[in-house]
Amino acid sequence: MAAPANSSSNLKSRVLTGLLLGGVFLAALLLLPTFHWGLLMYAIVALGGWEWAGLLKLPAPARLAYALSIPIMAAALGALPALAVFIPLAVFWLLLVPLWLNRLWPLPFGPWGLLLGWVILAPTGIAAIELHRASPNLVLGAILLAVIADSGAYFTGRLFGRRKLAPAISPGKTWEGALGAAAAVALYALAVSAGVPECSLGCLGGVEAVALILFVASVLGDLFESHAKRQAGIKDSGDWLPGHGGVLDRADSLSAVLPLAYLFWMWMS
Tens digit of each residue's pLDDT (9 = 90 or more) over 9-23: 555 666 676 677 778
**In whole angstroms, how far apart are CA 149 and each of 8, 11, 130, 255?**
25, 21, 23, 14
Mean pLDDT of 135-142: 95
Q: Taking a C-beta distance cutoff of 8 angstroms, is the pair 160, 176 a contact? A: yes
Handedness of CA 208, 213, 216, 217 (dihedral sign): negative
For the cut 60, the answer to whether the pLDDT of residue 247 exceeds it is: yes
Domain holding 224, by residue range, is 2-268
Total domains in the chain come to 1
Mean pLDDT of 144-157: 92
End-to-end CA distance of the chain: 57
Q: Which pLDDT band, with edges at 50, 70 and 90, does 186 fall under? A: very high
Q: What is the pTM of this model?
A: 0.90
For the cut 80, the answer to whether the pLDDT of residue 211 exceeds it is: yes
Q: Which pLDDT band, with edges at 50, 70 and 90, does 233 fall under? A: confident
For the cut 70, the answer to whether the pLDDT of residue 2 exceeds it is: no
Beta strand 164-166 pairing with 170-174 = antiparallel
For the cut 80, the answer to whether the pLDDT of residue 112 exceeds it is: yes
Mean pLDDT of 187-195: 87
Give buried/exposed letters for 68-77 (b at 16+ CB in 10 A, else e). ebbbebbeeb
Mean pLDDT taken over the chain: 88
3-state secondary structure at position 241? strand
Q: Which H or E element spans position 170?
A: strand 170-174
Mean pLDDT of 76-92: 94
Question: What does the longest C-alpha to C-alpha distance in the chain come to?
Answer: 59
Measured between alpha carbons, how far is 257 from 98 in angstroms, rounded to an integer? 15
- With a pLDDT cut of 70, the percent of the chain lying above it is 88
For the cut 90, the answer to whether the pLDDT of residue 181 exceeds it is: yes
- The alpha-helical segments, DSSP class H, found in 56-93 are 60-78, 82-91
